Protein backbone atom coordinates (compact mmCIF):
# COMPACT_ATOMS: atom_id res chain seq x y z
CA UNK A 1 0.00 0.00 0.00
CA UNK A 2 1.47 3.36 -1.04
CA UNK A 3 1.82 6.14 1.50
CA UNK A 4 0.10 9.36 0.46
CA UNK A 5 2.45 12.32 0.22
CA UNK A 6 1.35 15.49 1.96
CA UNK A 7 3.56 18.42 0.93
CA UNK A 8 4.78 21.08 3.29
CA UNK A 9 3.96 24.74 2.81
CA UNK A 10 6.03 27.91 2.66
CA UNK A 11 4.87 28.97 6.10
CA UNK A 12 6.69 25.94 7.55
CA UNK A 13 9.77 28.20 7.60
CA UNK A 14 10.67 31.06 9.88
CA UNK A 15 13.57 33.45 9.30
CA UNK A 16 15.07 35.43 12.15
CA UNK A 17 17.93 37.93 12.01
CA UNK A 18 20.04 40.03 14.34
CA UNK A 19 22.33 42.93 13.56
CA UNK A 20 25.94 41.80 13.21
CA UNK A 21 27.90 42.32 16.41
CA UNK A 22 31.52 41.70 15.36
CA UNK A 23 31.15 37.94 15.71
CA UNK A 24 29.56 37.95 19.17
CA UNK A 25 26.48 35.75 19.54
CA UNK A 26 23.25 37.77 19.44
CA UNK A 27 21.23 38.01 22.63
CA UNK A 28 17.93 38.59 20.80
CA UNK A 29 16.51 37.54 17.43
CA UNK A 30 14.03 39.46 15.28
CA UNK A 31 11.61 37.58 13.04
CA UNK A 32 11.44 38.75 9.42
CA UNK A 33 7.79 39.43 8.67
CA UNK A 34 5.93 39.63 5.37
CA UNK A 35 7.64 36.67 3.67
CA UNK A 36 5.92 35.83 0.39
CA UNK A 37 8.68 33.66 -1.07
CA UNK A 38 11.50 31.86 0.72
CA UNK A 39 14.21 29.41 -0.27
CA UNK A 40 15.65 27.67 2.79
CA UNK A 41 19.44 27.57 3.01
CA UNK A 42 21.02 25.55 0.23
CA UNK A 43 24.63 24.39 0.13
CA UNK A 44 26.48 24.75 -3.15
CA UNK A 45 29.69 22.80 -3.69
CA UNK A 46 32.70 24.04 -5.59
CA UNK A 47 33.53 21.23 -8.01
CA UNK A 48 37.05 20.80 -9.41
CA UNK A 49 38.26 18.40 -12.08
CA UNK A 50 40.59 15.86 -10.44
CA UNK A 51 40.92 13.50 -13.40
CA UNK A 52 44.40 12.61 -14.64
CA UNK A 53 46.20 12.25 -17.96
CA UNK A 54 46.74 8.55 -17.38
CA UNK A 55 43.05 7.84 -16.77
CA UNK A 56 40.84 6.10 -19.32
CA UNK A 57 39.35 9.37 -20.57
CA UNK A 58 36.54 9.55 -18.08
CA UNK A 59 36.43 12.74 -16.06
CA UNK A 60 36.37 12.92 -12.31
CA UNK A 61 35.12 15.75 -10.13
CA UNK A 62 35.71 16.47 -6.46
CA UNK A 63 34.11 18.98 -4.12
CA UNK A 64 36.78 21.31 -2.72
CA UNK A 65 34.57 23.66 -0.75
CA UNK A 66 30.99 24.61 -0.11
CA UNK A 67 28.96 27.69 0.64
CA UNK A 68 25.34 28.31 1.58
CA UNK A 69 22.75 30.80 0.48
CA UNK A 70 19.13 31.61 1.26
CA UNK A 71 16.86 34.11 -0.40
CA UNK A 72 13.32 35.34 -0.50
CA UNK A 73 10.82 38.09 -1.09
CA UNK A 74 8.92 40.19 1.45
CA UNK A 75 5.94 42.54 1.33
CA UNK A 76 7.12 46.03 2.29
CA UNK A 77 4.97 48.51 4.21
CA UNK A 78 3.92 51.71 2.47
CA UNK A 79 5.79 54.88 3.32
CA UNK A 80 4.56 56.28 6.62
CA UNK A 81 3.49 52.88 8.00
CA UNK A 82 5.44 50.85 10.51
CA UNK A 83 8.44 49.07 8.99
CA UNK A 84 8.90 45.42 9.91
CA UNK A 85 11.89 45.29 12.32
CA UNK A 86 13.40 42.17 10.70
CA UNK A 87 13.16 43.76 7.27
CA UNK A 88 14.82 46.91 8.64
CA UNK A 89 17.83 44.84 9.79
CA UNK A 90 18.12 43.20 6.36
CA UNK A 91 17.72 46.49 4.49
CA UNK A 92 20.33 48.28 6.62
CA UNK A 93 22.86 45.48 6.11
CA UNK A 94 21.98 45.19 2.42
CA UNK A 95 22.98 48.81 1.84
CA UNK A 96 26.44 48.36 3.36
CA UNK A 97 29.70 46.57 2.64
CA UNK A 98 32.26 44.62 4.66
CA UNK A 99 31.16 43.87 8.24
CA UNK A 100 28.37 46.47 8.07
CA UNK A 101 26.76 44.27 5.40
CA UNK A 102 26.64 41.17 7.63
CA UNK A 103 23.73 39.81 9.68
CA UNK A 104 23.28 36.93 12.07
CA UNK A 105 20.77 34.46 10.61
CA UNK A 106 18.59 31.82 12.24
CA UNK A 107 16.34 29.59 10.14
CA UNK A 108 13.71 27.36 11.74
CA UNK A 109 11.44 24.74 10.19
CA UNK A 110 8.28 25.23 12.25
CA UNK A 111 7.47 21.53 11.90
CA UNK A 112 10.52 20.93 14.15
CA UNK A 113 10.53 24.19 16.16
CA UNK A 114 13.29 23.17 18.58
CA UNK A 115 15.76 22.60 15.72
CA UNK A 116 17.28 25.41 13.73
CA UNK A 117 20.37 26.54 11.91
CA UNK A 118 22.42 29.63 12.65
CA UNK A 119 25.16 31.46 10.84
CA UNK A 120 26.48 34.78 9.62
CA UNK A 121 25.64 36.05 6.14
CA UNK A 122 26.37 38.94 3.82
CA UNK A 123 22.99 40.52 3.03
CA UNK A 124 21.66 42.08 -0.14
CA UNK A 125 18.33 43.96 -0.33
CA UNK A 126 16.65 44.77 -3.64
CA UNK A 127 13.38 46.71 -3.90
CA UNK A 128 11.28 45.06 -6.61
CA UNK A 129 9.35 46.73 -9.39
CA UNK A 130 6.40 45.30 -11.24
CA UNK A 131 2.93 46.17 -12.48
CA UNK A 132 1.19 49.17 -10.96
CA UNK A 133 -1.31 46.81 -9.31
CA UNK A 134 1.35 44.85 -7.38
CA UNK A 135 1.98 45.36 -3.70
CA UNK A 136 5.39 46.76 -2.81
CA UNK A 137 7.95 44.01 -2.38
CA UNK A 138 11.68 43.60 -1.88
CA UNK A 139 13.99 40.69 -2.50
CA UNK A 140 16.80 39.65 -0.19
CA UNK A 141 19.70 37.27 -0.46
CA UNK A 142 21.85 35.98 2.38
CA UNK A 143 25.22 34.52 1.33
CA UNK A 144 26.80 32.48 4.09
CA UNK A 145 30.07 33.38 5.75
CA UNK A 146 31.31 30.09 7.12
CA UNK A 147 29.18 27.25 8.34
CA UNK A 148 25.47 27.15 8.98
CA UNK A 149 25.45 25.32 12.28
CA UNK A 150 22.63 23.29 13.78
CA UNK A 151 21.22 24.72 17.01
CA UNK A 152 18.66 23.64 19.58
CA UNK A 153 16.06 26.32 20.23
CA UNK A 154 14.36 26.54 23.59
CA UNK A 155 10.55 26.35 23.29
Confidence check: pLDDT of 53 > 80: no
Q: Name residue 123's beta-bridge partners.
A: 142
61 inside domain: yes
CA dist list (Å): 33 to 80, 84, 131, 138: 17, 6, 23, 12
1 inside domain: no
Backbone angles phi, psi at 10, to 5 degrees: -55, -40
5 inside domain: no
Q: Tell me the CATH number at 104.
A: 2.40.30
End-to-end alpha-carbon separation of the chain, Å? 37
Could you tell me which of 13, 46, 51, 53 has the C-alpha nearest to residue 32?
A: 13
Domain tally for the chain?
1
Backbone angles phi, psi at 9, to 5 degrees: -130, 160
Query: What pLDDT, in 10s, does the model give residues 128-152?
Result: 877 666 678 999 999 999 999 998 8
Confidence check: pLDDT of 32 > 90: yes
Could you tell me which of 149, 107, 100, 106 has the C-alpha nearest to residue 125?
A: 100
Using DSSP, state whether 116 is helix, strand or coil: strand
Threshold 0.85, pTM exceeds: no
Cβ 94 vs Cβ 102: under 8 Å = no
21 inside domain: yes
89 inside domain: yes
Query: What pLDDT, in 10s, does the model give residues 66-124?
Result: 899 999 999 998 878 888 999 999 999 999 999 999 999 999 988 887 888 999 999 99
2 inside domain: no
Range(s) of the domain holding residue 23: 10-152
4 inside domain: no
Amino acid sequence: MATEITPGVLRDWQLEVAAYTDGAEPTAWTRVGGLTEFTPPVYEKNQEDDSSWDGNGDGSMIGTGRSWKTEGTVKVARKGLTTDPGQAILEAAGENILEEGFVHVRVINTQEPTKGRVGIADATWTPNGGPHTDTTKAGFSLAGRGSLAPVTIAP
